[in-house]
């Protein structure tokens, strides 16, 4: 909770100060008055949004270390600087002020602190509610990703998302297994149809822009548990796979932020939600499956399931929701973690103009994406001698070939692919505004991208 200071009693004051040199950044000192700490933002010339977001995260964690429940943040030193920077600092506070849900018998009282702002300018105060909505949407995405697989199934995820959609007046529809069969979504069904928790397709429609405008489709991978299927994962990799629906969480969080902030844009979120389990009827390596697009797919590996769901999700977005452009987002490959670690997500695109919008959006959000190539040689790696495509290459390039597979289904529409397998979760936070667990990756960048699409068509 963040509010403007109006003489309420507080038990700690953190005063943000400018430093002399780079080394001062994030340095904490006891202030001249009792109950006041000073936190250095580094030199004025080096202030930037990313740095200020980190400073905000640090302030929140300091408050936690002092067990302060009511904290005054003195931002006077930032008067006259860019309001965007101050908002970034405050978003850092809000994002760090979050703990994963506890399942303990004896629940302690909420550890969250309340913050009161001092010295902020009117422009910041006016823009704060929208920034808070965006942060809450990141926290919503984190909540979904943190939930274990026995709590969050395709069905309960659909219920949770519908509940939130209801609150904000977003149209939400959940298609069940028989409807997916009628649509011919053979790729999605191949992965999920034999699990006890049946597959769902969750669709969120936000119409904030001029009506005839074709919506931007956000397609998010919603695998609530990825065992790998018959290509069973190792014990160690299985452990994290309740979070294999971070793409779904990102697109849902984005749409709720857009709706609550009344952004002028038309967006449809499409979430194929399944469990990738082993059961007597599960699909097998070597199977040839169908897809909604009509293409046949040779299954080389049942653990490469995300691209199968996304393929049908994208075809659905084009055929049934009239998507004009498409972004898919997914915890798709272990290879992207090998490549970029936990700070940077992989990206691909078939459209330079669209991709430069994503770059600008990421510049604003502070998230890091890096574009990978789509050379024709990579496309050959997913050819199959007997089907239209195969779902895995045996020649390496795991992240790229996964993206190339998905690109086939975008039918030449402007398309961006985001692989957040490395960035959706941190055991050890990489920046001060992260906490252990889900990061809510994608929400802020997708939100900025949607804002940009609403302002000007491609
Ligand atoms: N959900 C995984 C990818 C993943 C790995 C997410 C690590 C988060 C952390 C995905 O479904 C998967 O298993 N991909 C395989 C593909 C391979 C079989 C072609 C992988 O990356 O090993
Ligand atoms: Zn998998
Ligand atoms: Zn997966």
Over residues 350-361, the pLDDT tens digits come to 999 999 999 999
Q: Please report the pLDDT score of residue 107 as a whole number.
A: 81
pLDDT confidence band for 210 (50 / 70 / 90): confident
Cα gap 423→177, rounded to integer Å: 31
Query: Which residues line the pocket of ligand 1, CB cutoff 6 A?
Result: 226, 240, 244, 301, 303-306, 331-335, 337, 392, 398, 421
pLDDT tens digits, 220-265: 999 999 999 999 999 999 999 999 999 999 999 999 999 999 999 9
Cα gap 274→271, rounded to integer Å: 10
Mutation choice for ligand 1 from 225, 334, 342, 423, CB with most ligand atoms inside 8 A: 334
pLDDT tens digits, 119-152: 999 999 999 999 999 999 999 999 999 999 999 9
415 phi/psi in degrees, rounded to 5: -140, 140
Q: Please report the pLDDT score of residue 6 as a whole number.
A: 80
Catalytic-residue membership of 307 = yes
Residue 109 in this model has a pLDDT that exceeds 90: no
Instruction: Kindly report the pTM of this predicted structure.
Output: 0.98
Distance 148 CA to ligand 1 centre (A): 18
Cα gap 161→195, rounded to integer Å: 21
Q: Among residues 30, 28, 24, 50, which one has the least CA distance to residue 39?
A: 28
pLDDT tens digits, 419-447: 999 999 999 999 999 999 999 999 999 99
Ligand lying nearest the CA atom of residue 301: 1
Task: Compute the residue count for the chain.
Answer: 458
Tokens linked to 388: 């239209």
Q: What is the mean pLDDT of the chain?
A: 96
Distance 301 CA to ligand 2 centre (A): 9
pLDDT confidence band for 33 (50 / 70 / 90): confident
Q: Please report the pLDDT score of residue 211 as a whole number.
A: 80
DSSP 25-44: TT-EEE-SSTTEEEEE---G
Say which residues have a Cβ less than 8 Å from residue 367's Cβ, sequence separation at least 6: 345, 423, 441, 442, 444, 445
Q: Which ligand 1 atom lies nearest to the CA of residue 392? A: 19
Mutation choice for ligand 1 from 238, 305, 332, CB with most ligand atoms inside 8 A: 332
Measuring from atom 22 of ligand 1, which residue has the nearest CA?
A: 334
Rounded CA Rg of the chain? 23
Residue 179 in this model has a pLDDT that exceeds 70: yes
pLDDT tens digits, 346-395: 999 999 999 999 999 999 999 999 999 999 999 999 999 999 999 999 89
Q: How many helices (H) and strands (E) does the chain have?
A: 14, 20
Distance 424 CA to ligand 2 centre (A): 15
Task: Output the CA angle 378-379-383, nearest 5 degrees.
Answer: 120
Q: Please report the pLDDT score of residue 111 as a whole number.
A: 67
Residue 310 in this model has a pLDDT that exceeds 90: yes
Cα gap 292→409, rounded to integer Å: 10
Tokens linked to 355: 């991709």
Catalytic-residue membership of 70 = no
Residue 112 in this model has a pLDDT that exceeds 90: no
Residue 48 in this model has a pLDDT that exceeds 70: yes
Distance 346 CA to ligand 2 centre (A): 17
Cα gap 142→293, rounded to integer Å: 32
Distance 276 CA to ligand 3 centre (A): 8
Say which of 15, 54, 142, 307 is annotated catalytic.
307
pLDDT tens digits, 85-94: 999 999 999 9
Say which of 69, 70, 205, 233 is annotated catalytic.
233
Distance 357 CA to ligand 1 centre (A): 28
Distance 189 CA to ligand 2 centre (A): 15
pLDDT confidence band for 108 (50 / 70 / 90): confident
pLDDT confidence band for 110 (50 / 70 / 90): low
SS3 302: coil
Residue 397 in this model has a pLDDT that exceeds 90: yes
Q: Give residue 190's region: left, alpha or beta (phi > 0; psi -120 to 50).
A: alpha
For residue 103, the tally of other CB atoms under 10 A from its CB is 8
């Amino acid at each position: 909770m963040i509010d403007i200071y109006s003489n309420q009693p507080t038990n700690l004051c953190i005063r943000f100060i400018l430093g002399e040199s780079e080394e001062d950044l994030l340095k904490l000192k006891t202030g001249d008055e009792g109950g006041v700490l000073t936190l250095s933002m580094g030199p004025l010339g080096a202030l930037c949004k990313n740095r200020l977001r980190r400073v905000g995260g640090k302030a929140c964690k300091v408050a936690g270390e002092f067990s302060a429940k009511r904290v005054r943040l003195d931002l006077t030193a930032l008067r006259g600087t860019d309001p965007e920077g101050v908002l970034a600092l405050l978003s850092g506070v809000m994002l760090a002020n979050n703990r994963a849900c506890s399942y303990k018998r004896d629940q302690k009282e909420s550890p969250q602190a309340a913050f009161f702002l001092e010295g902020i300018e009117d422009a910041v105060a006016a823009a704060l509610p929208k920034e808070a909505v965006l942060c809450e949407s990141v926290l919503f995405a984190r909540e979904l990703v943190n939930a274990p697989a026995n709590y969050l199934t395709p069905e309960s995820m659909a219920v949770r998302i519908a509940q939130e959609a209801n609150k904000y007046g977003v149209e939400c529809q959940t298609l069940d297994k028989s409807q997916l069969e009628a649509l011919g979504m053979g790729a999605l069904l191949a992965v999920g149809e034999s699990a006890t928790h049946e597959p769902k397709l969750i669709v969120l429609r936000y119409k904030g822009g001029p009506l005839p405008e074709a919506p931007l489709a956000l397609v998010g991978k919603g695998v609530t548990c990825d065992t790998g299927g018959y290509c069973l994962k190792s014990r160690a990799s299985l452990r994290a796979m309740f979070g294999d629906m971070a793409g779904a969480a990102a697109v849902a969080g984005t749409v709720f932020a857009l709706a609550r902030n009344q952004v002028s844009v038309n967006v449809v979120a499409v979430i194929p939600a399944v469990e990738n389990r082993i059961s007597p009827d599960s699909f097998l390596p070597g199977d040839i499956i169908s897809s909604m697009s009509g293409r046949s797919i040779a299954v080389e590996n049942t653990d490469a399931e995300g691209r199968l769901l996304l393929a049908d999700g994208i075809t659905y977005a084009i055929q049934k929701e009239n998507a004009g452009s498409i972004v898919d987002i997914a915890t798709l490959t272990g290879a992207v973690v090998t490549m970029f670690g936990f700070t940077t997500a992989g990206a691909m695109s078939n459209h330079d103009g669209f991709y430069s919008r994503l770059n600008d959006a990421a510049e604003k959000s502070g998230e890091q994406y890096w574009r990978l190539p789509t050379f024709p040689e990579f496309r050959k790696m997913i050819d199959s001698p007997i089907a239209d495509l195969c779902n895995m290459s045996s020649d390496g390039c795991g992240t790229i070939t996964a993206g190339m597979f998905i690109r086939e289904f975008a039918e030449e529409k402007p398309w961006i692919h985001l692989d957040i397998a490395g960035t959706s979760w941190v055991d050890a936070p990489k920046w001060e505004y992260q906490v252990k667990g889900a990061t809510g990756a994608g929400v802020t960048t997708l939100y900025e991208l949607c804002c940009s699409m609403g302002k000007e068509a491609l």
